[in-house]
Amino acid sequence: MTVRALALDAYGTLFDVHSVVEAINAQFPDKGPALSEIWRVKQLEYTWLVTLMERYESMWSLTRASLVYAMKRLRLPPDEAVIDGLMQAYLNLQPYPEVIEALRTLRGHHRAIFSNGNPEMLRPLVHNGGLAPVLDDIISVEPVQVFKPSQRAYRYAEQQLGVPAEQVLFVSSNGFDVAGAKTFGFQVAWIQRGSGQLEELGVTPDHTVGSLSEVVELLA
């Protein structure tokens, strides 16, 4: 296969969104897994809702709103100081163990994050996670103000990469993102992390792997 550029999803693919559990448990003992799960599900739902409603709020704003929702859902007091602290934890998500070395090995390809996150949250995340030296670009959907899996979002990424869609390998662990990217025309590698599952929409990735290290092997 011809691959001139890599477009890599950030949340759940390069970074473990549930690495906030420890910070949550520090505030609400034993509530970390449940709160983190609701927080993530509602975060995704809000991106889809605002896109369908043809309005836009930054991913940072929606992440905060989904955190408040999750806290209320679990009947936890939505204290502003606690919310601010957990939002800062979201800027310090942990990359999966193989990510930095795999990205370093992939330096012969243009390596770009392509994310629903807005630049103000992606830049510190990349810096804090140690990924800045092993990435060439950060592409956010914010300039087009529409979230993945809108085809407009993938088209924008293609334009920013300057590479035809069929020569881009899109890498994600999120089933909705796999379906959206493959429908657009990217080559797609799905990283099956944990209990992740593909959507039942008749769209399948070109490759199924267990980690970013296996993407390195695909391109070797």
- For 192, left (φ over 0), alpha (ψ -120 to 50), or beta? beta
115 and 126 housed in the same domain: yes
What range defines the domain where residue 84 resides? 17-90
> Catalytic pick from 9, 79, 84, 137?
9
Distance CA 95, CA 34 (A): 21
Place 121 in a pLDDT band, splitting at 50, 70 and 90. Answer: very high
Q: Which are the contacts of 155, defined by CB distance < 8 A and separation ≥ 6?
A: 184
125 and 186 housed in the same domain: yes
29 and 10 housed in the same domain: no
Domain end marker among 74, 90, 106: 90
Q: Are 30 and 180 in contact (CB under 8 A)?
A: no
Mean pLDDT of 43-61: 97
Place 152 in a pLDDT band, splitting at 50, 70 and 90. Answer: very high
Q: Which are the contacts of 152, defined by CB distance < 8 A and separation ≥ 6?
A: 144, 146
Active site residue 9: yes
Least confident stretch, 32-36, 51-55, 192-196, 202-206: 192-196
130 and 204 housed in the same domain: yes
Residue 1 has pLDDT above 80, yes or no: no
Distance CA 104, CA 191 (A): 18
Return the residue matching tokens 């300057």.
162
Domain count, the chain: 2
Residue 46 sits in a domain of what CATH number? 1.10.150.240
Domain end marker among 59, 90, 121: 90
55 and 103 housed in the same domain: no
Mean pLDDT of 56-80: 97
Place 9 in a pLDDT band, splitting at 50, 70 and 90. Answer: very high
SS3 state of residue 220: coil
Domain end marker among 47, 70, 90: 90
Residue 216 has pLDDT above 80, yes or no: yes
121 and 196 housed in the same domain: yes
